[in-house]
Amino acid sequence: MRTTLRISDIILRERRERAKRSGLPFRQVVEETLALGLARQSARKKEGKTFRVQPHPLGLKAAFRGLSLNQLYDQREAEETLPGSPSR
């Protein structure tokens, strides 16, 4: 089956160098690379190990809970630019 893929220049260069070093056809090197990637992906799924992030309380004031970090930074910056606020 023929198909067209967009591959980054770095990956393309690495796979072509691998084909040249090994003496294998470029097509075979690409197929082996894809097969290895797919095998690793299905092995990860079978392991059942998922990465979980454990949340920790930040001790934020109630007024700041539910805001994104960008919103918190903007709020802090706005408070610092108020007249009479200490400068950095």
Short-list 33, 18, 54, CA closest to 41: 33
pLDDT of residue 88: 52
* Sequence-ordered list of residues with C-beta below 8 angstroms from that of 61, at least 6 positions apart, any chain: none
Q: pLDDT tens digits, the chain, 88 residues: what are they?
A: 888 889 999 999 999 999 999 999 999 999 999 999 988 887 766 666 677 888 888 777 777 667 788 888 888 888 888 777 665 5
Report d(CA 84, CA 88) in Å as an integer: 12
Cβ count near 35 (within 10 Å): 10
Which pTM value belongs to this model? 0.47
